[in-house]
Amino acid sequence: MTKLRHAAMFSASALVFAMIAAPAAAQESNESDKVGNPEIVVTAQFREQKLQDTPLAISAVNSEMLEARSQTSVEQVAAQAPNVTLTPQGQQNGSGLIAFIRGVGQTDFNFALEPGVGIYVDDVYIPTLTGSLLDLMDLDRVEVLRGPQGTLSGRNAIGGAIKLFSTKPKGNGKGSLQVAYGSYNRVEVRGYADMALADNLFMRVAGVSKSRDGHVKRLDYGLTHPGSGVKPMGAGSNPLLGTLGGQSYSAGKLSMRWVPTETVEVNVSGDYTRDRSEAGASVLLYYNNPSVNSNGQPWLPSSIDGSAIRGNCAFVPYGVNSCDTLTGYNRKFVSYSTFLDQTPATTQSPFKPIAFDPHQWLDNYGVSGTIDIDLSDSLQLKSITAWRHYKSDWAQDVDNSPITNQQLRQTLVNDQWSQELRLNGKVGDLLDFTLGGFYFKRDGTLTARVDLNYAGIDFMHGPDPTPASNKALFANFMLHPVENFNITAGLRHSWDSKDYTFFRRNPDMTVPGVCAFFLGAATAGPTGIGNAPNCLLVGLNNVSASFESKRFDWRVAADYRFSPEVMAYAQVATGYRAGGVNPRPFFGPSSPNNQIKTFAPETLISYEAGIKTDLFDRRMRLNVSAFINDYKDIILTLSACPISPCLQPNNIGKAKVKGFEVETLIKPVENFTLDGALSYIDFKYKSFNPGNGSLGALTLNMVTPYTPKWKYSFGAQYDIPDVMGGTVSARFDGSYQSHIYTEAINYDSVAVPAISGPLATYYASNRINGYFLGNARLTWKQESESPLSISVEVQNLFNKYYMTSLYEQYASPRTVSGAPGMPRTWAVTLKKDF
């Protein structure tokens, strides 16, 4: 409460100070040149506006600031964006992005579940978490819009939107080449070239290639622990099987801009990304499993006496649940994963052994075209057309041990088409308007080999077709009734449809039969020997379900500019996240416990007010916003059902979400720049939907995943001119987030009696404690039209050990794993502009 009071006092004082200081600042600006913060132009409301004139909570970062902060991937932008969490998906979900803004987001990659944050590249919608972990290649700027963008962006921008805008071809003959080398054999090459092919035709080519060794060592447990009963993987003496988290990534983009007349501009681009990285970094934090099937058969028999090797603290390299005896390695970054299931085959589970290659691959490419036509001085037409495709293929072994309780290889294929039309116009000086329509169609499939020893099943999932479409009509109006006062109103009507067809077969592609256990056979349950393989999944092959909905969203905002330095605004806006069909049923229509069910869209209405200021001759920019959200029909995937196993999305209830955000950019003296951000969020469930029997341990005092109550960041840069014919820039960036939970059901620490091993009690958690990260960069840049620059950077300067995500499954299959962030690293970058 003390932190909250102090933060509230800070925000209130900032607002009062801004109002008082504005006249003095205005007077100074009349007497001197503008030497303060530069203007940033954004297009959040379908037309170009200055950031400080836009009545929305926006964090906008241009390419110069991205480079100064050494930010090259989209998730890094979140460090300086208040109430925004962006982090890579864990190993279990492949290449993708977990995105939450103001407590709204999504952690599941499955096509059936939509993101809660809209991702856009050059106004082209990226519809899934997979494929959203984007490199910031050749960007002009990034806009992070906080709060529901239901009228401006449409479906699934209920929490907010992240918009990336590429640099357009200019035909100026310029370019650059940048090479970096650093820790873990990091090698990174970036470059672009911009040229004119004709007087009205311009081309820009950009590319990036980056590689890095993994920071988690994958060790052969049999070699590092002789006498344990675990058979070594190989015949040699080197225990290093490989690494996790290594990167091998390349991407390129070709952009063309054609200006056939003064009133027509055509921009066409094509891009391709090829990612051949290792499986994601993962370490084991908790293991408490007897590691036998329903007949008592070991998953991993001991090479000494054939008894079951138990999953316990011996395989946890580090932490409170570890009793590992490993020496000679940094146990914080060790995994014993093998990506090999050595369970002996039986008639009920005949498809063993299973071996996967530890990989995380992505092929992602597409083309887009934007046509801008000035129909008249007051009427402009914009067309945005795009097609994209990706294939993501990855393997997981998140028990991080030679005892396989679960192991999967999954493949997502996505094809999408989109078309958007916008008609921008104005009626004198009184009204600006936008009318438009949007069409989106996606065809996707998920195919997986799902090996779940803990559940007694090993089957082929899919390919499950999941076609979906969205159509929308929208309008936005900006009324200027008097000078300095604007009223904005928007509306959008959306139509969603989605189909899901389930295919569940044995790995040899035969269809599972009926369980002998349910016919009266004396077996050890439905997964015991004597049953047909995967008989629990009977009735789930070639079964379809559909979902349809329509939605009306609206927004009303008002803003008033008190002076050239101070603008205040208030708005009410709505948004939604589309519903769908449960993608992971374990019981089909023939069962009384049928889990093929639909779930409705979740909705949000937001009340927001804010102030944007540029003070002291624009040397100090201070933006403050506060919000209250009514969040309803919240979609959460829970594992509590009347009959298990179960993993089912449900509309669980509603919540009240309150918070504030402060951003500042200050140039107190020449050559010195400070920037900072602070945010607070108070998420409280108000009630759960009646009749919902799937809440399990969910309680009203819990919060949504990846929602830190407090966040702050700051940056400081000092430029020293005239050093060896150039400028030396020294920069430090720091960021802090308070603790988060990675699952809907929050666990701080659950004490669990040990099934085996020397520890009496294990402690399970899905909490990531708060942490502070610091980064430093020193750059010398030549004073020249085609400068040379040299930079030295250190990331995670204080060598903080932290997790970017957790995969908590302590109840079943009784493991918790985590993705450790990179330790302290360094890099040297050489860049030449030409």
Give the list of residues 6+ apart from residue 106 with CB closer than 8 angstroms, or none.
Answer: 98, 99, 113, 114, 115, 116, 117, 129, 577
pLDDT band at 588 (very low <50, low <70, confident <90, very high): confident
Cα angle value 52/53/58 (rounded, 5°): 55
CA separation, residue 424 to residues 20, 443, 469, 474, 476 (Å): 37, 31, 25, 12, 9
Q: Are strands 117-121 and 160-166 parallel, antiparallel or unpaired?
A: parallel
SS3 of residue 315 by DSSP: helix
Task: Give yes or no for a contact between 232 and 222, defined as CB atoms under 8 angstroms apart.
Answer: yes
- Kindly write down the DSSP assignment for every residue of 54-72, as one continuous string: -SSEEEEEEHHHHHHTT--
For residues 641 and 93, the model is more confident at 93
SS3 of residue 514 by DSSP: coil
Task: Give yes or no for a contact between 623 and 59, defined as CB atoms under 8 angstroms apart.
Answer: no
pLDDT band at 642 (very low <50, low <70, confident <90, very high): low
> Using H for helix, E for strand and C for coil, what is the string for 259-305?
EEECCEEEEEEEEEEEEEEECCCCEEEEECECCECCCCCECCECCCC
Tokens of 807: 């995969």
Task: Give yes or no for a contact between 734 and 774, defined as CB atoms under 8 angstroms apart.
Answer: yes
Q: What is the pLDDT of residue 59?
A: 95
pTM equals 0.94
Mean pLDDT in residue range 265-271: 98
CA distance 443 to 445: 7
CA distance 681 to 657: 7
Q: Provide the phi-psi class of 824: left if phi over 0, else alpha when psi is between -120 and 50, else beta.
A: beta
Would you say residue 101 has pLDDT above 90? yes
- 813 upstream amide cis, omega within 30 of 0: yes
pLDDT band at 5 (very low <50, low <70, confident <90, very high): very low
Would you say residue 323 has pLDDT above 50? yes
pLDDT in tens, 659-686: 999 999 999 999 999 999 999 999 999 9
What's the number of CA atoms in the CB half-sphere (13 Å) around residue 51?
A: 24
CA distance 345 to 366: 44
pLDDT band at 691 (very low <50, low <70, confident <90, very high): low
Region of poorest pLDDT, from 151-160, 164-173, 379-388: 151-160
Q: Pseudo-torsion of CA 663, 123, 577, 684, nearest 10°?
A: 0
pLDDT in tens, 141-156: 999 999 999 999 988 9
CA distance 462 to 4: 49
pLDDT above 70: percentage of residues in the chain: 94
Mean pLDDT in residue range 812-816: 92
CA-based Rg of the chain, rounded to a whole angstrom?
Answer: 28
Distance of CA 277 to the CA centre of its chain: 18
pLDDT band at 541 (very low <50, low <70, confident <90, very high): very high
Q: What is the pLDDT of residue 640?
A: 62
Nearest to 149 by CA among 696, 575, 629: 575
- 645 upstream amide cis, omega within 30 of 0: yes
Q: What is the pLDDT of residue 37?
A: 82
Tokens of 746: 């929050």
Q: What is the pLDDT of residue 592?
A: 79
Task: Give yes or no for a contact between 453 and 405, defined as CB atoms under 8 angstroms apart.
Answer: yes
Mean of the per-residue pLDDT values for the chain? Answer: 93
Q: What is the pLDDT of residue 693?
A: 52
Mean pLDDT in residue range 691-707: 82
Would you say residue 6 has pLDDT above 80? no
Would you say residue 12 has pLDDT above 60? no
Task: Give yes or no for a contact between 56 and 625, defined as CB atoms under 8 angstroms apart.
Answer: no
pLDDT band at 294 (very low <50, low <70, confident <90, very high): confident
Region of poorest pLDDT, from 112-121, 200-209, 689-698: 689-698
Mean pLDDT in residue range 329-356: 96
Task: Give yes or no for a contact between 623 and 568, defined as CB atoms under 8 angstroms apart.
Answer: no
Would you say residue 10 has pLDDT above 60? no
Residue 776's DSSP bridge partners are: 732, 794
Give the list of residues 6+ apart from residue 72 with CB closer than 8 angstroms, or none.
Answer: 66, 135, 136, 188, 190, 208, 210
pLDDT in tens, 107-141: 999 999 999 999 999 999 999 999 999 999 999 99
Tokens of 454: 């803990």
Distance of CA 515 to the CA centre of its chain: 40
Cα angle value 404/405/409 (rounded, 5°): 75
Residue 85's DSSP bridge partners are: 100
CA separation, residue 151 to residues 295, 393, 500, 557, 570 (Å): 57, 34, 28, 12, 16
CA distance 200 to 192: 20
What's the number of CA atoms in the CB half-sphere (13 Å) around residue 810?
A: 25
Mean pLDDT in residue range 464-475: 97
Pure H helices in 710-829: none
Tokens of 85: 């969490």
What is the H or E stretch that residue 18 is in?
helix 2-31
What number of H helices and E strands is found in the chain?
A: 3, 50
The edge-to-edge listing of strands for the beta sheet with 240-244 is 240-244, 216-219, 334-335
Would you say residue 34 has pLDDT above 80? no
SS3 of residue 734 by DSSP: strand
